[in-house]
Amino acid sequence: MKTVLDEFGERLIRNARDVPIRQFDATVSGHMKDAESKQLYQELSVLPPKQLELVRKIFIRAVDETLHHVLRTFEQNKDLDIVTTSSDGTKVSLTDKSDGLSGELYTEDGWIAKFSQYR
């Protein structure tokens, strides 16, 4: 059974990490149909595969750093909190449940390793 912390982490990773990476991949492969994505596809399509892979790594790093700093903002500001409802209806502070929300992203047991399609 997943903890409320892992339930949150799974949603965060699947929606705030995997979706942007999937959209990036769709853009660089020419599958996105909006004008901005088509323009970006044309600009990126001139890059050699090795450079395009580097751009992808930088993009993923930027997504991960953004998630890290958003979670860290909640850790460092006691007037902010992420609250969820447990299966029994109790309100639960995720910042209280974790010894460091931003750290939940990393390690072999972290949210990225457990829940991301893009490890």
**4-52 residue pLDDT tens:** 999 999 999 999 999 999 999 999 999 999 999 999 999 999 999 999 9
Per-residue buried b or exposed e for 81-92, using 16+ beta carbons within 10 Å of the residue's own CB: ebeeeeeeeeeb
Q: What whole-number distance in Å separates Cα of residue 69 and Cα of residue 94? A: 16
Tell me the backbone φ, ψ of residue 21, rounded to 5 degrees.
Answer: -65, -45
CA angle at residue 114 from 95 to 6, to 5 degrees? 30
Contact between residue 6 and residue 111 where contact means Cβ atoms under 8 Å apart? yes
Residue 87 reports pLDDT greater than 90: no
Q: How do the domains of the chain map onto residue ranges?
A: 4-115
Contact between residue 67 and residue 73 where contact means Cβ atoms under 8 Å apart? no
Instruction: Report the candidate in 37, 9, 11, 10 with the shortest Cα–Cα distance to residue 23.
Output: 37
pLDDT in tens, 60-76: 999 999 999 999 999 99
Contact between residue 107 and residue 3 where contact means Cβ atoms under 8 Å apart? no
Looking at the whole model, is its pTM more than 0.85?
Answer: yes
For the chain, the straight-line distance linking the first and the last C-alpha, in angstroms and rounded, comes to 23
AA letter at 118? Y
